[in-house]
Amino acid sequence: MLNRTRDALALLTGIFVFYTAATGPFESLIQRAIFLALVVCLGLAVYPLGHGRRWRPLGLAVDLAAAGISIAACGYIVVNYDRIMTTLPWATTLDMALTVGLVASVLEIGRRAVGIIFPALVLVGLAYALFGDMLPGTLAHRGFDSAFVTETIFLGDLGIWGMLTGVAATVIAAFVLFGSLLLHTGGGQSFMDLAMRIGGRQAGGAAKIATIASGLFGMISGSAVANVATTGNFTIPMMKRLGYPPAFAAAVEAVASTGGQLAPPIMGAAAFVMAEILGVSYIQIITAAIIPALLFYLSVFVTVHIVSVRKNLTLVPEDELPAWSTILAPRRVLPILAAIGGLAVGVYLGRSVATTAFYGITGLMIAFVATSLGQMPAAKMASLVVAGIKDAGKGMVIIGVLLAGAQILVSMINLTGIGVTLSSMIVSLAGDSALLVALIVGGVCLIMGMGLPTTAAYVLVAAVLAPAMTAVGIDPLAAHLFVFYFATISVITPPVCVAVFVGAGIAQTNWLPAAMEAVRLGAVTYVVPFMLLLYPGMTAQGDWMAIGNALLSGLVLVVAIPSLLSGQKLFAIPALDIAVFVTSIALAIWPHPAAPLLAGLLLALSWHFGKARRPLTGAAG
């Protein structure tokens, strides 16, 4: 019964998202209320309380009550939409009861799906709004009663029905459906096969397979932890079987999966949220993220290569690699090309992002059916599509409840003014120094992002910390990318490095050595956010000279930092090697037009003459 209910709700949610992507969304609050009602009910079915335990009947009663009050609350908004948007009604006892029930349901599903940390943060925000006037000093506010808080959260478009929920109910939901269908109709296997063919016969082939595959999956999946759990179950055992150290295998998978959140076009769904917050186009966001994402993956490749050569890690046997003829078969290639083509058509015609996703889904489905006819039974094709919709529904649950919860928290931050207060405190502490503000914000982002999914982490730090950076004159786009990067890489940063925990569990190794390896593999990512502030060209802003300087400085860092941390040898004198790498890094981060060129020349000449005296195979050994 539970499985049938789950499947029916997932299909209904997928159909709703597909329909509104095709025809356009309903009125804002109506669209968001219907979507939230669907994802709450689906979430209760996907994450049933007490499932498999003796007290499941009690859990079922709680779930049914939560579903009932959530449907009632969302239905109330749909029915009273005109009154809410035109008269700004006062909160009644019924409104307060519906608000408490809906908020509790959203936070409870969030607890079941991602753990206690995020719901606890939202509850802290609510408690601060209700009781913050009792605090001493600058943290106190003027005070708000329960009726006013209810009106903010429930009876308007600033609380739970605000922008973040709106993005989740339209753009993000459409792309979650697109990505899930792409993976289930053959794209997932195509990504894995392509990664194996490209990386398998290089030094550190299995690690490079993990890097490519996890990056491709991560760009679509939206969750670093889920990506580790999915691709890691294939790549980590393969690396261990070929003799790779377990800690290294776990770290490679965790870092590569995290990089997928930083890479366009999805960026863990944060690209869409960032575009809405900043009021800029989605295309501008993903364009700004291209160079940093490229540098991230190049740095991982360089580190993997150096470590692989030094440790003499074996290649993947040729007979385990798929043939190019299999990878490039029409059945594999055409659906992916049609999906990308559909997206391109939507962009070319100037359609909304959600409608663009609809075009992509349509192209994918047409090509999938056309290339599968005669190759597999119709029932098998239908089962793959249904499986894709069901997985999309699960992804929409997590995105929907997290962004609805985040919207509640953001509304409380805006209501109480705590974001402005904290920003002022940071600026005051740093003495208006942009560098000191960035250092403080980066450290706080790492802490605040620990244990949170990518999108929720970004929303939190964007609301609280990004204003501190813009207050000292930092470009808003660079500031938001800065906090997004640090919030994202918290999943590989000790002590709460959840992506590493999952990878270490699969590798059956201690998490701490894996975390140290992950920090080394992802070291460039801790520097790139600061490069966004030093070089505007890093976000594709400015002329070609600015972009070229940014790219060159990034490439120097991509080579110098992994080489320094991995003990790469250039000459016979270790101190000289270290001096070359440190000097190159210093020049690369010096914001002078000539500095990147000098850094590149120093590194290239040292590598050339050093390599002549000590070949790469010996240098890494």
Domain positions in the chain: 542-615
CA proximity to 180, closest of 339, 370, 329, 39: 339
Compute how many other C-beta atoms are within 10 angstroms of the C-beta atom of residue 46: 20
- Exposed/middle/buried for residue 82 (C-beta within 10 Å: 0-12, 13-18, 19+): exposed
In this prediction, residue 359 has a pLDDT band, given cuts at 50, 70 and 90, of very high
Cα 386 from Cα 396, distance rounded (Å): 15
Cα 37 from Cα 161, distance rounded (Å): 12
Cα 495 from Cα 236, distance rounded (Å): 22
What is the structure's pLDDT at 616?
47
Cα 403 from Cα 392, distance rounded (Å): 16
Q: Give the orientation angle of helix 188-199 with respect to helix 205-221, to 10 degrees.
A: 150
In this prediction, residue 328 has a pLDDT band, given cuts at 50, 70 and 90, of confident
Compute how many other C-beta atoms are within 10 angstroms of the C-beta atom of residue 421: 17
Q: Is the pLDDT of residue 562 over 70?
A: yes
Q: What is the mean pLDDT of residues 384-401?
A: 88
In this prediction, residue 364 has a pLDDT band, given cuts at 50, 70 and 90, of very high
What is the structure's pLDDT at 618?
40
The alpha-helical segments, DSSP class H, found in 465-522 are 466-470, 476-488, 498-507, 511-521
* Residue length of the chain: 621
Tens of pLDDT, residue by residue over 94-114, are 999 999 999 999 999 999 988
Q: What is the mean pLDDT of residues 178-184?
A: 88
Cα 542 from Cα 536, distance rounded (Å): 7
Q: What are phi and psi of 358, to 5 degrees?
A: -60, -45
Angle, vertex CA 431, rays to CA 428 and CA 433, nearest 5: 125
Q: Which residues of 557-577 are buried (b: 16+ CB within 10 A; e: fewer)?
A: bbbbbbbbbbebbbbeeeeeb
What is the structure's pLDDT at 100?
96
Tens of pLDDT, residue by residue over 568-579, are 888 878 889 899
- Exposed/middle/buried for residue 341 (C-beta within 10 Å: 0-12, 13-18, 19+): middle
Which range has the top average pLDDT, 107-111, 282-286, 330-334?
A: 107-111
Q: Is the pLDDT of residue 476 over 70?
A: yes
What is the structure's pLDDT at 161?
94
Q: Is the pLDDT of residue 334 over 50?
A: yes
CA proximity to 207, closest of 169, 177, 247: 247
- Is residue 206 within 8 A of residue 238, CB to CB? The reply is yes
Q: Is the pLDDT of residue 128 over 90?
A: yes
Dihedral sign of CA atoms 86, 91, 96, 98 in order: negative
Locate 417 and state its tokens.
């003014």
Chain centroid to CA 288: how far?
Answer: 16
DSSP letters spanning 519-580: HHHTHHHHHHHHHHHH-GGGGT-S-HHHHHHHHHHHHHHHHHHHHHHHT--SSS-HHHHHHH
What is the structure's pLDDT at 621?
35
What is the structure's pLDDT at 222?
62
Cα 481 from Cα 502, distance rounded (Å): 26
Cα 533 from Cα 481, distance rounded (Å): 10
What is the structure's pLDDT at 175?
87
| Cβ neighbours for 91, distance < 8 A, ≥ 6 positions apart | 99, 146, 147, 148, 150, 151, 154, 155
